[in-house]
Amino acid sequence: MVNILCARIRYIVPFMFCSETSYDKLVEEIAKNPLWNIQKMHEQEAEQDLYQMIADCFEMDEKQNNIGCSLHYCMPGNNILEINYTKFKKDFVVSITDLGLYLFRSGVGFLWYEISLPQGAAADEIMLFQNEFKELSYERFVSKRRENDRYTFEQNENRNTAILMGHWINRLLAQFPFTVTYYAERRDCLEKGKCIPDKAILFNYVVMAGEDKEQWWDYIYRITNGYNKKYMRKSDFSNDILEPFEHAYCYATSQGCGYYAILNEQNHNFYMRTFRKKVMVDYFLLEILALYQYYSILKFTKNMEGELSAEREKYQLESEDILSVLKNLSAEINIFLVKSVYSSVSHISHQNDFYEYLLRRLRIRENIEGLTIGLESLEKLQEARERERIQRIESLENEEQELSDDRLNIGLGLISILALVSAIADGYGAADALVKLFHLPECMRVWISVILLILVVIIAVIAISSIVPSIKRSRRKRKRWKERWKNKNVK
């Protein structure tokens, strides 16, 4: 028999947000609401052992070096919301006692809330409650035909008013100056045309008492994932658990994360008092960081699906637009990798082990590798095609210059021929002048004319031999150049 002596349970709702203003102005606008305060990481309820650089990542300053910020709901009073869950008995009142919001520059956000269970709640009741309360869009919670199977909350003394948690979350986020898209969503049965979050991610700190180790595994498996007894753990389940200390176990999946302690005489005060606060500071923040990486990668994947074509032919063309999109995506992802992925988070070894365990369980490094390899390959392909395009343009420009040179050579050759024709006419006059000047016999006039004619012919042959190849080459290049410039892929 396993008894749960202490349970701190938080629910995390991931979403994507988009704002018309910059991130910094958006946070400033939210902070103007008197119910929401920017939370200082060093003002947590317990001492923080994470590196200062982790806390600095959430500090809003003028340097804009932070990856995100933490906002805390500070409504006066003990409870934010009270829900009478009548699944097990008439009065099973669950209170939402704490509420917060994480907003990251990548456009990923997390709304979280902590609940307080009734005093003395049994382990099976907590397990079943987790199984149903994580279902934020569960329609039977608002069904008027099933009186014993719904949520009710105390407001204006109306204890029979049903509430749908996803609808409540949607209204809560609607007050902020950004639009929200949930990673997993369903239609809102209370408001047509609206979508609400489907499921919440669980974060648990549970202290148990008991001797049966197999029962420990059962409850750890089901409470972490929000499963009921229909879900059976696998036989080697213990291999998936991190054991930082004796009688202390951590278990994480994409559906939830939990830190579980088995109470004995030696660790009673530590786990029931000291660590009860600390786990919600350091360990909860590490879970948020891991989920931030996990969902940011999903968001990058979604952006790539929206901006990159699935048609192979698009990438066989040389396009500056495609290369620009790829470079922008690559820059955004690389900034995320540099600023948001850590190899070490604490000077305490078991906190580093917990962080590494989360990365491994969520397969974050594998997801990053799969995301970047494909993008880098496409970018290299487009860069190679862009280089080829530029080389072809340069080649065409060189050919154009050669065409211009050939035209000049042809023109000069024609001028030379005309000059030769004129020289032939002048040659006969020169022969007469030589005969008269040197008193040569008449027969020498003929020989002088013949010699001059031979020289002119030789020069003409040389000129024509240089013009004809230029003409032929010019025709070939002009035809090829025109055909290549007609190609629509060359810009």
Residue corresponding to tokens 């809560």: 172
The alpha carbon of residue 367 and the mean position of all alpha carbons in its chain are separated, in whole angstroms, by 11
3-state secondary structure of 9: strand
**Quick check: 318 and 489 in contact, CB under 8 A?**
yes
Integer angstrom CA distances of residue 181 from 108, 151, 174: 10, 25, 11
Q: What is the pLDDT of residues 451-460, one digit of tens each?
A: 766 777 777 6
Average model confidence (pLDDT) across the chain = 78
Query: 410-430 pLDDT, tens per residue?
Result: 666 666 666 666 665 565 566
Q: Read off the pTM.
A: 0.75
Using the structure block, give the residue that is written with the tokens 């006419």.
425
Residue in 142, 286, 141 with CA at minimum distance from that of residue 203:
286
| Separation CA 467–CA 450 (nearest Å) | 25
Residue 249: count of CB within 10 angstroms of its CB: 21
Q: Please, is 486 exposed, middle or buried when counting C-beta atoms within 10 Å of its C-beta (0-12, 13-18, 19+)?
A: exposed
pLDDT of amino acid 489: 46
Calpha distance 149→442 (Å, rounded): 137
Low-confidence residues of the chain, pLDDT below 70? 41-46, 62-63, 76-77, 86-90, 139-162, 306-326, 372-440, 442-450, 452-453, 460, 462-491
128-150 burial, b at 16+ Cβ within 10 Å, e below that, comes to: bbbbbbbbbbbeebbeeeeeeeb
